[in-house]
């Protein structure tokens, strides 16, 4: 099989009801751009109610070339989204259907918290981040990552993003500027700022990284979860090297 995500189009279907703003149902979107635009530059807390479609039918990827597929079980998806409770005030409900999940989220916070939450949910279904949702559980067992929060470990893995796809859809900027690793408490504090850009949550570095290593060479050519997990050892070296680079930059 050709790499199933390589030529796939971004595919997000969701509804958003934001206090004082939009109330829309959107299909076949590239991302959450309309919601992000509505939240841009807002300096007051706003309530938001969101429903996000997450595909678990391989045919959407294989036959229709959509970049939307979740490798997680419902229990694992619930754990993934509920990690955000460590850094923001948000409630989630996950509904499972034959071919898809629906994640229902209610949040009351500044615009960065809304954006962070939506991006975090997107990790569960958009390549390459859906692969990282599997990798992060293995990475937690590595001695280098024992004391790294799972929320922050996702940021480390995403900094090792693929060069061809998904680079602009992570919480941290994938290229050029290194990230400032933060504790859960620090992330929670920054999400109460008035940043208009999601990446501003992790601002603090201007150090350029000329040879930052990505994992595009380990591209995924299967939708089989077992095969992906068995290839984890091909990617862990990259994750460790990039994490150590982040630590050196923080000193």
Q: What is the pLDDT of residue 120?
A: 93
Q: What is the mean pLDDT of residues 68-94?
A: 95
Q: What is the pLDDT of residue 133?
A: 92
For 119, half-sphere exposure in the C-beta direction (CA atoms, 13 angstrom radius) is 24
Answer whether 67's CB lies under 8 Å from 82's CB. Answer: no
Q: What is the mean pLDDT of residues 51-66?
A: 91
In a domain, 196, yes or no: yes
Q: What is the mean pLDDT of residues 99-120?
A: 94
In a domain, 150, yes or no: yes
In a domain, 161, yes or no: yes
In a domain, 3, yes or no: no
Report whether pLDDT(200) > 90. no
Domain span holding position 122: 9-250
What is the tens place of the pLDDT at every residue in 6-54?
668 889 999 999 999 999 999 888 889 999 999 887 778 899 999 999 9
Q: How far apart are CA 170 and CA 158, in angstroms?
A: 7
Q: What is the pLDDT of residue 104?
A: 98
In a domain, 58, yes or no: yes
Give, in order, the Cα–Cα distances in Å from 250 to each of 158, 174, 175, 207, 244.
18, 17, 17, 10, 10
How many structural domains is the chain composed of?
A: 1
Reported pTM: 0.87
In a domain, 200, yes or no: yes
In a domain, 154, yes or no: yes
* 44: alpha, beta or left? (left if phi > 0; alpha if psi -120 to 50): beta
């Amino acid at each position: 099989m050709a790499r199933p995500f390589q030529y796939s189009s971004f595919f997000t279907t969701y509804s958003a009801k934001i206090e004082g703003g939009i109330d829309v149902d959107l299909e076949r979107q590239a991302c959450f751009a309309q919601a992000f635009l509505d939240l841009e530059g807002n300096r007051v807390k706003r309530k938001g109610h969101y429903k996000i479609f997450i595909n678990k039918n391989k045919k959407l990827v294989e036959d229709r070339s959509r970049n939307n597929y979740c490798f997680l079980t419902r229990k694992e998806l619930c754990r993934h989204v509920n990690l955000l409770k460590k850094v923001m005030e948000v409630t989630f409900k996950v509904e499972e259907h034959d071919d898809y999940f629906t994640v229902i989220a209610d949040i009351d916070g500044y615009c960065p918290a809304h954006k962070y939450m939506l991006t975090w949910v997107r990790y569960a279904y958009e390549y390459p981040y859906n692969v990282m949702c599997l990798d992060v559980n293995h990475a937690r067992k590595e001695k280098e990552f024992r004391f790294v929060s799972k929320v922050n470990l996702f940021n480390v893995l995403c900094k090792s993003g693929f060069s061809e796809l998904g680079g602009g859809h992570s919480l941290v900027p994938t290229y050029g500027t290194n990230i400032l690793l933060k504790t859960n408490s620090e992330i929670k504090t920054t999400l109460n700022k008035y940043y208009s850009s999601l990446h501003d949550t992790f601002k603090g570095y201007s150090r350029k990284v000329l040879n930052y290593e990505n994992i595009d060479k380990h591209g995924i050519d299967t939708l089989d979860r077992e095969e992906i997990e068995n290839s984890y050892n091909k990617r862990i070296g990259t994750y460790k090297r990039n994490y150590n680079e982040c630590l050196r930059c923080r000193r």
